[in-house]
Structure 1
Amino acid sequence: MKVGLDVGGTKTDAVAVDDGGAIAGRIRIPTGWGPDAVAQTVVDAVGALAAEAGVDLAEVRSVGVGIPGQIEPGTGRVVHAVNLGVEALDLAEAVAPRLGVPVRVENDVKAAALGAHALHRASGAAAPASMAYLNLGTGVAAGIVADGRLWRGARGTAGEVGHISIDPHGPLCRCGQRGCIEAFAGGGAVAERWRHRSALPVRDVFDAADAGDPSARRLREDLARGVAAAVRVLVLTADVDIVVLGGGVTALGDRLMTDVAAELSASAEASPFMRSLRLAERVELLPPGSLAAALGAALVGAEGDATHDTEEALVHG
């Protein structure tokens, strides 16, 4: 049994995957604030799988955790997880003795990339040799999987496309630069530029744009421009077979996909080379409600056993 946890700013999803690849249990609990509370959340989530989902903890041999922030390479130490109130925390060291099994920690977007790759294979579609998972949430970041393995890069920052500037005169990004992809396509940046109080600001922008609001139309166009730029960067630098879009912004579904495809097609009109890449055909949407992040965390946790074997189980389970 392998357990995977997706620790988010407000909630934590946990799944248990058995040796046959089937989901043996899943739960969701609130995420605590601060380093001690985050560690307790991980312990509580594993316990809740037993109490609420009937998972036999004696069968659990690994726990993987996907969490926002930077993960120091080769360690279970997370830093700068600002949305969780964590400046620095060796999460693996804090929880492994309490759980009694190996614990491995990975950035949540990179974990989701592994999960999205496994889900794509499980769907029956042709297995891509490489995939980028582009997370469109409050911020923008990507994870890259090649030959079934996560590509982290030399310092664990492979896929951090959100802070590539595509317009030096564009809106100010929280990183200090102007015109970053995240400043155009991040849900938090869109909400700040919209300046209307709303529970679903990005959806409100799309609705207002449909109604003819000129400022909303600009924001909607900028969002598509930012996503399309991220797709181009991922394909032109890593030459991935497909780019899978996930994260809260993708709840817009076809409304978002139509805009992004149109932007990719329009930007390729003057370039035979860009047209040859057929970028609009290489973008897919992660199904809503997907457990990609928690599944990917389970894969991360099982890396010491065999990532490929675990992924095969997910495909055939």
Structure 2
Amino acid sequence: MRIGLDVGGTKTDAVAVTAAGEIAARVRLATAWGPEGVVRTIVDAVAALGAEPAVAGAAPASIGIGMPGQVAPGGTRVLHAVNLGVDELDLAAALGSRPGIGRVRIENDVKAAALGAYALRGRPGSMAYLNLGTGVAAGFVFPSTDSGRRDGELWRGARGTAGEVGHISVDPGGPLCRCGQHGCIEAFAGGAAVAERWGRPGALPVRDVFDAADAGDPDAAALRAGLAHGVAAAVRVLVLTADVDVVVLGGGVSGLGERLGADVRRTLRASASASAFLRSLRLDERIDLLPPASPAAALGAALIGASLEAEEVLPRG
């Protein structure tokens, strides 16, 4: 079994994946706060998977972990995972002496989710995964090419920051973003930004905005239109820079499903109405949504962990 964990700010999603790529078991736990809490949550999640009948207590062949924050390609140190209360944490060192935990591979959670979404779609072609959660970020996955790239390989960029589209300003006169700019994609489409501008208590503020907009609330209608504007802008950026075949929408905000998808497609068609070039790209036909509660991030983490296992069996010269 290959173990994959998506360690989020409120919950940790963990899966055990067979060598054939099938999910054999899945558990979800609340994520404890701070470095010690994160390490304890990971250990508990691996143990919980080991207790599942399909896993039968077998030692994991590999462990991959998706985490928010900055993760250097191939590294095990996580920086600035503020939603977890982690400023800096070397997970390999913290987990190395724990029973049942072998070597681990760490990846940024959005990039792990991109790889998992690619595997779940099971279709050829290039893909950008646009994560619409507390913030906004993207990951790229490309198929094999004549240059030798493996099928379904992440593109991280020169310094691991490819896809950080949330802080691209698309409206200098737009709302203030936490980064200090105005009109960033994240200021329009990030769940935290929408909730802050909505300013009303609720368990699911973005869903409340959509419901209120449907009921005729003008403030909610403006926020809803702004969210679609921000997502549509991100789709244009991702396609115009990388020319991916499809942009898959995921993350908590994407749980709105076709209520969101229809808004984004309509906004993309409207923005293309005056441009024959944009119409030729058919951007509204190049978006897809992950199903609610998809295990994409945990599955992607498991695949990343399995890649470490594969590297270790290569001959050394």
Name the TM tier (shorter chain).
over 0.9
Query: 2:147 maps to what in 1?
Result: none
Distance 2:41 2:53 in 1: 17
Question: Relative to 1, partners in 2 of residues 1:2 and 1:289: Cα closer, same or farther, differing over 3 Å?
Answer: same
1:80-139 deviation line (CA, Å, top 9, x unaligned):
000100000011221133244220000111000000000000xxxx412x1001011111
Higher helix share: 1
**Matched letter for residue 116 of structure 2:** G
Please name the residue that 1:210 is paired with.
214
Pairwise CA distance, 1:204:
1.1
Return the TM-score normalized by structure 2. 0.92
Q: Does 2:128 correspond to 1:127?
A: no
TM-score by length of 1: 0.92
Helix, strand or coil: the match of 1:38? helix
Q: Give the letter aligned to residue 25 of structure 2.
A: G
Pick from 137, 144, 147: which aligns with 1:141? 137
**Pairwise CA distance, 1:54:** 5.1
- 1:120-199 alignment runs, 5 A limit: 120-121=121-122, 126-128=123-125, 130-147=126-143, 148-199=152-203
Instruction: Give the Cα–Cα distance (whole angstroms) in 1 for the partners of residues 156 and 132 of structure 2.
Output: 19
Q: Once the 2 structures are TM-superposed, how far is the Cα of residue 40 of structure 1 from its aligned partner?
A: 1.5
The Cα shift of 1:62 comes to 0.5
Match of residue 109 from structure 1 = 110
Q: Which residue of 1 aligns with 2:308?
A: 304
| 1:61–1:102 Cα contact (<8 Å) kept | no
Q: Is the 8 A contact 1:139 1:162 kept in 2?
A: yes
Q: Select the residue among 247, 255, 272 that pairs with 1:243.
A: 247
Q: Report what 1:315 is aligned to.
A: none
Following TM superposition, by how much is the alpha carbon of 1:291 offset from its aligned partner in structure 2, in angstroms?
A: 0.6
What is the number of equivalent residue pairs in this alignment? 302
The answer for the alignment partner of 2:24 in structure 1 is: 24
Instruction: Give the 3-state SS of the residue equivalent to 1:141 in structure 2.
Output: strand
Counterpart amino acid of 2:251? G
* SS class of match (1:178): coil
Identity %: 70
Name which of structure 1's ranges 35-44 and 89-98 shifts more when overlaid on structure 2: 89-98
The 3 A distance-change label for structure 1 pair 262 and 208 is same
* Structure 1: runs of 5 or more not aligned: 308-317
Partner of 1:311: none
Native 8 Å contact 2:73 2:107 kept in 1:
no
Task: Deviation per CA, 1:134-173: give whole Å up to 9, x if none.
Answer: 0111111111101210111111110010010101111111
SS in 1 for 2:138: strand
Residue identity opposite 1:135 in structure 2: N
User: How far apart in 2 are the matches of 1:33 and 1:59?
Assistant: 27
State the shift of 1:218 in Å. Answer: 0.7
Tell me the distance in 1 between the aligned counterparts of 2:96 and 2:178: 34
Distance 2:75 2:251 in 1: 26
